[in-house]
Amino acid sequence: MTNAYVKIYPVLNGTCILVHTEDDQFILIDCKITRDSEDPNNQVFFDVKDDLISILPTNSYGAPYVDLFVLSHPDQDHCHGFENHFYTGKPSNYTKTDKEGHRIMINEIWTSKIIYGEVCKDAECIRTEVSRRRDLYTSSDHRIGTDYNRLSMVGYDDDQEFTDCPSYYPSDLVSYVAGKQTSYLSVFIHGPFKKSLIDSSATGDRNLASVIAQYQLTSPDHNEKLLLLEGGDADHYQWAMVKEKTEEHSREEYLYFDVFLAAHHCSWSFYNNRPYNENKDPAVSSRDLVSIYGKPNCLLVSSSKEIIDDENNPPHYPAKQQYAKDLIASGKFLCTGETPNRAEPKPIIIELTNTGAVQGNNLPDKKKISKAEKGEKQFAYLASNPGTRAFGCE
């Protein structure tokens, strides 16, 4: 069995992360799939779609699929290519053309209510699929909770767009994915908070509503863990609330990380307001989050184009310098647009081994996994108490 791993694709300023668990579940956090360079210097794009198709299992429809798709927030750099590369609609309507185009099916979608705001074209496609699934719950359709019809809402829902859907809130610890309990993955929901969603709706700033979570992968013997802390484009205010609330309720274990995705593609907004020239003092809470909760040999990854000393923000050169300064001595800062080099960037892979989380691009040969094979690898799991919602609706 392939080790559990986190794979961060090089997509310039954008996010596309594949998470693989020990029991062969695949979680995709955001997507940016394109072969059209947006970079003025024509930086080479890695073929994300081709890589996904070579890895993902296939289901009874002959479709490649992910068990869970998490949309951090509906901005173009977090869902580019969704309409062209993912299947939407009734699972039974998957056609020969869809199969030939390798359209990826999604068993379960997590999103926040912000999907119903003003969004880009690809996000509109996601919204249409979210609405189809939501309506199954609203109408008590017999397909509720079945494969490729699953939907969960993350965060407060004042407009009651998701009244009848499963919901997760800050402080929830989730180990139920695509209709299965798993002992190899747990997701601690940090955000968005109620205030963040309200502010996002009022200002139109979708970054404020980013889903923030710690993804915890566990080894077969449960002795080792790989911790990914990721929060889309959340700014220093959101991260300060996450840190304050989590520490206030003595749940600091969910702030630690082996891998931290630099917020907003290494924007200065993680440390202070922009423009940088008017707000050069980094927030203490942001500095502490990086310096206190980074585990030994942790990686801080900027999912962005190469970071050079210019006026771009993101990626922002002073932000990179600040991250490097705040990291513990054994920590390392990496940029997807520069790894292993700018001429030919490749995914950054962090594996969970019997000695813990290890960076390395030497995964076993890619192997297509059928749904039947995958089913044989599922392990029974006695669900523990998921914890109370100490601050879930704030």
Residue 386 counted as domain residue: no
Q: Percentage of the chain with pLDDT > 90?
A: 79
Question: Averaged over 325-340, what is the pLDDT?
Answer: 94
Question: Averaged over 309-335, what is the pLDDT?
Answer: 95
Domain count of the fold of the chain: 1
Question: What is the Cα–Cα distance from 323 to 297, expressed in whole angstroms?
Answer: 14
For residue 144, the SS3 value is coil
Asked whether the predicted pLDDT for residue 333 surpasses 90, the reply is yes
Residue 134 counted as domain residue: yes
| Beta bridge partners of residue 259, listed in sequence order | 228, 299
State if pTM tops 0.75: yes
Residue 384 counted as domain residue: no
Residue 21 counted as domain residue: yes
Structure tokens at 176: 């139920």
Spatial CB neighbours of 39, under 8 Å, sequence gap ≥ 6:
12, 305
Give per-residue pLDDT as tens, 41-81: 545 568 999 999 999 999 999 999 999 999 999 999 999 99
Asked whether the predicted pLDDT for residue 38 surpasses 60, the reply is no
Spatial CB neighbours of 113, under 8 Å, sequence gap ≥ 6:
153, 155, 156, 157, 158, 159, 161, 162, 197
Asked whether the predicted pLDDT for residue 383 surpasses 80, the reply is no
Q: Percentage of the chain with pLDDT > 70?
A: 88
Structure tokens at 52: 């996904």
* Cβ pair 169, 390 in contact under 8 A: no
Cα–Cα distances (Å) from 203 to 120, 197, 263, in that order, read 16, 10, 20
Domain that holds residue 364: 5-373
Residue 174 counted as domain residue: yes
* pLDDT computed for residue 141 by the predictor: 83
* pLDDT computed for residue 361 by the predictor: 62
Asked whether the predicted pLDDT for residue 129 surpasses 50, the reply is yes
Question: What is the Cα–Cα distance from 264 to 232, expressed in whole angstroms?
Answer: 6
Structure tokens at 103: 């359209």
Least confident of 20-24, 172-176, 199-203: 199-203
Asked whether the predicted pLDDT for residue 360 surpasses 80, the reply is no
Residue 382 counted as domain residue: no
Residue 307 counted as domain residue: yes
| Beta bridge partners of residue 351, listed in sequence order | 5, 358
Question: What is the Cα–Cα distance from 199 to 113, expressed in whole angstroms?
Answer: 13
Computed on alpha carbons and rounded to an integer, the radius of gyration of the chain in Å comes to 20
Cα–Cα distances (Å) from 319 to 269, 271, 339, in that order, read 9, 7, 18
Question: Averaged over 298-325, what is the pLDDT?
Answer: 96
CATH code of the domain covering residue 77: 3.60.15.10
Question: What is the Cα–Cα distance from 138 to 144, expressed in whole angstroms?
Answer: 9
Structure tokens at 32: 């940016």
Give per-residue pLDDT as tens, 315-327: 999 999 999 999 9
Residue 178 counted as domain residue: yes
Question: What is the Cα–Cα distance from 225 to 258, expressed in whole angstroms?
Answer: 9
* pLDDT computed for residue 123 by the predictor: 97
Spatial CB neighbours of 100, under 8 Å, sequence gap ≥ 6:
none
Average pLDDT of every residue of the chain: 89
For residue 378, the SS3 value is coil
